[in-house]
Amino acid sequence: MQVRVLGCSGAIAKDCRTTSFLVDSDLLVDAGTGVGDLSLDEMAAIDDVVLTHSHLDHIAALPLMIDAVASRRSKPLRVHALRATIEALRAHVFNNVIWPDFASIPSREAPFVSFHDIVVGQQFELGTRALKNVEVLPAVHTVPACGYAVRCAGGGPNWVFSGDTERNPAFWQRVNQLDVGILVIETAFSNREQALAQRSLHLSPATLADELANIAAGKSYPIYITHTKPAETEEIMSQIDMLAAGSRVQGTKGWDIRWLEAAGVLQV
């Protein structure tokens, strides 16, 4: 299974695109500004989108993508999200004020997009080309939110994405039961902004260290950092490098922490 990093920044700037991942060629996980780097053919090949939550940096490109490729598709784009996320999209984006209601255009019987409720703990299969198992994981954020574990339907390790979250014991309880190939976890703010991170329910390097301490003994996998604010990325990564070095106590390998970069490709 291939995960293409379209965007992994917490805001926009030159070469910084917000959260979006393309799994194989037909599943989009979040729809931030990174989607804009796809060709029309690549966007048209996406059949399913799973969203972590309703914040703009995770959904900004969705209405524009649907508009760009609707005429190239013979069936609706399926958008899967928590009910609260779908309600927010319907009320504040696809409302015929900010953007047309593509769930009823060109007709309610054959719309450009269809919305599908999911719940935390749910597992389902998606993919018209390469079937994938998707599990909805808990997240702790300022709006209803979730993360995801995705693997090939035939088995194999999971690509795990935390979504936007702060301290999250339920997440680790489930992740420790999974075969994890790669973990992508957010760290939006530096330790200097730890109070702001806590208020906005994001992680900083200090709270990231507390979270990674929940990884079960004997479990080891690459950990990629996402959602850093562009103005603080170097500071955040320097602090994370220090905590990674500090995790390497005698006789252990410590955490394998890496910086996620846009246009990168992860093989799971």
Q: What 3-state class would DSSP assign to 69?
A: helix
Between CA 31 and CA 39 the distance in angstroms is 15
Between CA 210 and CA 249 the distance in angstroms is 16
Asked if residue 267 belongs to a domain, the reply is: no
Strands of 123-126's sheet in order across: 123-126, 132-138, 146-152, 158-161, 180-186, 222-226, 256-259
Q: Which residues, listed in sequence order, are joined to residue 124 by a DSSP beta bridge? A: 134
Paired sense of beta strands 77-82 and 113-118, if any: parallel
Asked if residue 225 belongs to a domain, the reply is: yes
pLDDT at 127: 83
pLDDT at 253: 66
Place of tokens 């700037």: 13
Q: What is the helix (H) or strand (E) element at residue 136, kind and residue range?
A: strand 132-138
Is-contact 185 211, C-beta < 8 A?
Answer: yes
Asked if residue 268 belongs to a domain, the reply is: no
Between CA 23 and CA 4 the distance in angstroms is 6
Total-model pTM: 0.95
pLDDT band at 258; cut points 50, 70, 90:
very high
Residues whose CB falls within 8 Å of the CB of residue 227, separated by 6 or more in sequence, listed in order: 8, 9, 10, 19, 164, 186, 187, 188, 202
Asked if residue 249 belongs to a domain, the reply is: yes
Asked if residue 180 belongs to a domain, the reply is: yes
pLDDT at 250: 47
Question: Is pLDDT at 207 greater than 50 in this prediction?
Answer: yes
pLDDT at 268: 93
Question: Is pLDDT at 246 greater than 80 in this prediction?
Answer: no
Asked if residue 40 belongs to a domain, the reply is: yes
Residue-by-residue DSSP string for 200-219: TT---HHHHHHHHTTSPTT-
Question: Is pLDDT at 220 greater than 80 in this prediction?
Answer: yes
pLDDT at 154: 86
Between CA 225 and CA 261 the distance in angstroms is 9
Is-contact 40 47, C-beta < 8 A?
Answer: no
Paired sense of beta strands 20-23 and 2-7, if any: antiparallel
- How confident is the model over 84-103, as pLDDT tens digits? 999 999 999 999 999 999 99
Is-contact 156 181, C-beta < 8 A?
Answer: yes
- Domain count for the chain, please give it: 1
- How confident is the model over 25-71, as pLDDT tens digits? 999 999 999 999 999 999 999 999 999 999 999 999 999 999 999 99
What percentage of the chain carries pLDDT values higher than 70?
Answer: 98
CATH number (domain holding residue 229): 3.60.15.10
Q: What is the mean pLDDT of the chain?
A: 94
Asked if residue 179 belongs to a domain, the reply is: yes
The closest of 257, 234, 238, 242 to 16, measured between CA atoms, is 234
118: exposed, middle or buried (Cβ count in 10 Å: 0-12, 13-18, 19+)? buried
Question: Is pLDDT at 247 greater than 80 in this prediction?
Answer: no
pLDDT at 104: 96
- How confident is the model over 96-146, as pLDDT tens digits? 999 999 999 999 999 999 999 999 999 999 987 788 999 999 999 999 999
Place of tokens 């957010």: 186
Asked if residue 44 belongs to a domain, the reply is: yes
Cβ of 124: how many Cβ atoms within 10 Å? 14
Average of per-residue pLDDT across 163-186? 98
Determine the structural domain holding residue 165 and report its residue range: 2-260
